[in-house]
Amino acid sequence: MKKVRILSIDGGGIRGILPGTILTHLEKRIQELTKNPDAKIGEYFDFMAGTSTGGILGLIMLCPDENGGYRFSAKDALDLYLDQGDEIFDVSLGRKLKSLSGLNDERYSADALDTALKNYFGDIKLSQSKKPCLVTSYDIRNRKAHFFTSIDALSNIHDFHFKDVARATSAAPTYFEPAHIYSIFGTPHTLIDGGVFANNPALCAYSECRKLDFKKILNDEDKPTKPSAKDMMIVSLGTGSIKKPYHFSEFKDAGVLKWIQPLIDIMMSGNSETVDYQLAKIYGTLSGKNSEDYYRIEPKIINASSDMDKADLGNLKALEEDGKLSVMAFEEKLNEIAQKLIKNA
């Protein structure tokens, strides 16, 4: 029986360059091992999950072309950040003054992001995703977690355009205004970044896959139906492991304004660490080689800023450099992952 191959990518704004760089290397390694220079990373995962920047990366890699193939490579996904990141996170002096750096209004206009998503996705719908997927967001009107899934999208009520899913999952509070989008059926939704509750969506991916019939969905008799952990291979990618310390002397008398930015940072990193802990414990209960099929790769931020929105050209280059350093640090593990992905194809 072949394993279900799951890719999960954390949120993290412009730091999506880090997992994007790692996936570009992984794709090249697969091309080398299969001797197929046209192989794309989307072909070698059976399910993808993403939050915020991770959701955008996943959707790019699952976008179909006009012939039913995979439109984009991992490098194409990375290029969105390297080529347009400085425009997406560009802020005029007028907006900076009006927003008070995010205290009075969102920091950035979503116009450049909307344009980039439209250029990448056009009118592709979630129901057209090349593989099953899950993208997180939060419904602020109905006060509940919202999971975009390609399986649910088989109904117009739960189907959305790729560009709208990407916009919703990345609508980070204080950075961009909430996404006001419509399903294909016409139902309105007001959504914000899924990182407020699931910055690391790997456990969401695990839970979603438990109910799916991959044998039928992928038309592959060697894939399992309703897989358990022993039937899954999970690759979970973070967006940077630097942790800014917060000291008692700074926060002993802190009010709301002082706590806003630290709380976002703590909430996101804390969620990612908790999900990693939970999945590591789940796989720790398995026997033999099955216990080795959960991979958590958290890149280190060495040269770049850890800010989610620092997108000047110098920091974009520094993030790519840190991504390449992480590739070197995890090269043995990435080679092992590539071999397993091919084996379970």
Residue positions annotated with a catalytic role: 52, 193
Specify the DSSP class assigned to residue 211. Answer: T
Backbone CA torsion sign across 44, 72, 22, 266: negative
Determine the residue type at 70. Answer: Y
223/230 Cα distance (integer angstroms): 13
C-alpha triplet 165, 170, 175: angle, nearest 5°: 145
Q: What separation in angstroms does the CA of 141 have from each of 114, 144, 178, 330? A: 22, 8, 11, 42
Residue pair 185/38 in contact by the 8 Å Cβ criterion: no
Nearest C-alpha neighbor of 191 from the set 140, 119, 115: 140
What contacts 91, CB < 8 A, 6 or more positions away?
A: 99, 107, 108
* Contact between 189 and 146 (Cβ < 8 Å): yes
Residue type, 220: D
Picking from 112, 95, 1, 94, the residue whose alpha carbon sits closest to that of residue 46 is: 1
3-state DSSP assignment of residue 4: strand
